[in-house]
Chain A
Amino acid sequence: MKNLNLILAGVFFTLAASFGGLLLSGQVQLGQLHRAPAEEGGPLFPAKEPGLAIQGREVYLSLGCVTCHTQQVRPAGQGNDIARGWASRPSVARDYVLQSQVLLGNRRLGPDLVNYGARVKSDDEVHTHLRTSMPGSVMPAYGFLYTQSKDGSFRPTEDAVALVAYLKSLKIDYSSPEAKLKQ
């Protein structure tokens, strides 16, 4: 323990071991994951994101939504995510293969959003939620995403439109080979 090179080599070895054991082997298993049909010959899931949703992810990132919202639903035996009605199946690795940045999140000051698109009815519902503050919620109103016209109605900015398209594209309402939807 007196030799600088020995300490450096040892610490390098410990890092290299965890890098190989976790990241390289993870990469071998998950690096080539691609979309899969829910049943033989069916359409591939997850579905391609609309272009507007891809822009919307940038807005989501830029506003820091990931600080308060996760995008993952745990299996029924690990927490009460499914019991809360956020999704009917746990999220699996395949659900994320098309996303340029995977925003699992690790804190919930608000509900999980991985299946938000399947839970909301309409664009208007999402816009209202963003523009106004819901009673009992710590989520503030994002008024700066909207402009008010002379007749008092609110017009969403481009950012708001993209953000809503993104939020509505978040869905795990399909079966994947690893996790079937409960009938």
Chain B
Amino acid sequence: MNDSHSSNNHSQRPSHEDSSDSRLVEAHSQLAKNKEEPSEGFSSLPIVIVFLFCGFGFWAGVYLTRNAGGFSANTFDLDAPRLVADSGPKVFEADLAKGEKLFIQQCAACHQANGLGVPGAFPPLAGSPWPLGNDERIIKIVLAGLAGEIEVKGAKYVGNMPNIGAGLNDAQVANIVSYVRSAWGNNAEAVTDVKVKDIRKAIGGRGQYSPKEILDAHPLETK
């Protein structure tokens, strides 16, 4: 940008050297072809770049897992993900169909599919006060089992129920219990997986309950 135009500032010299563009293209094509054997100064650069790329990729993955709010459509605030998880659509709802299936597999051998049990051997669940009312009693029995003499609907049984629930996850236990509490004319509220989880944590890996122990903690409700 010299004040005198006619100086050696060639951007203002109005001629278009036709060959110079070809030279430019050729020279750079040559460079592109020779990239396998870069000149000395740059030999370490491609490796650095590869490492940088890997680093960026790793960082991007970590960042996204930490800051994506579970890729949920309902998370708008990174600082309050719990609030959304608690109030959003992911609230547990007992699946009674799954509960029935699990009941047939796990429980019907003794209590029978109709929930009436076997007189003199296995107590009924239909109409029994044991699974109804306070849900902690039945959840505890399913999780830890029950051994000893009990009375159900006026008949005596010597129970030896194993800890069925120990081999099931919280949602499965919640589904079975909810099914039992709502099938065959039973009419009690469903239970949630969170409740099962809390009770499982509270009782730890204990053995079977005795009838006295469980009834002292959770007496049968009389109608």
Contact = CB atoms under 8 A, between A and B. Distances in A.
Contact of B74 (A1, A78, A178): A178
A93 interface: yes
Given A177-B88, A177-B89, A178-B88, A92 B76 contact: yes
Nearest to B84: A178
Contact of B87 (A29, A75, A90, A180): A180
15 contacts: A75-B77, A75-B78, A75-B80, A77-B77, A78-B77, A78-B78, A90-B76, A93-B73, A93-B76, A177-B74, A177-B88, A177-B89, A178-B88, A179-B76, A180-B83
Interface in A89-112: 90, 92-93
A75 B79 contact: yes
Nearest to A178: B74
A93 B89 CA distance: 15
A29 B77 contact: no
Interface in A13-40: 29-30, 33
Given A33-B73, A178-B74, 14 more contacts: A1-B32, A30-B73, A75-B77, A75-B79, A75-B80, A77-B77, A77-B79, A90-B76, A92-B74, A92-B76, A93-B73, A177-B87, A178-B75, A179-B77
Among B75, B77, B89, which residue has the most Cβ atoms of chain A within 10 A?
A: B77
Interface residues of A, number: 15
Interface in A163-183: 177-180
Interface string B61-79: 0000000000001111111
B89 A178 contact: no
A76 interface: yes
Contacts of B80: 75, 77
Nearest to B77: A75
Nearest to B73: A29
A90 B75 CA distance: 11
A75 B79 CA distance: 8
A29 to B, nearest CB: 4
Contacts of B73: 29-30, 33, 93
Given A30-B73, A177-B74, A76 B79 contact: yes
Contacts of A178: 74-76, 84, 87-88
A35 to B, nearest CB: 14
Interface string A74-91: 011110000000000010
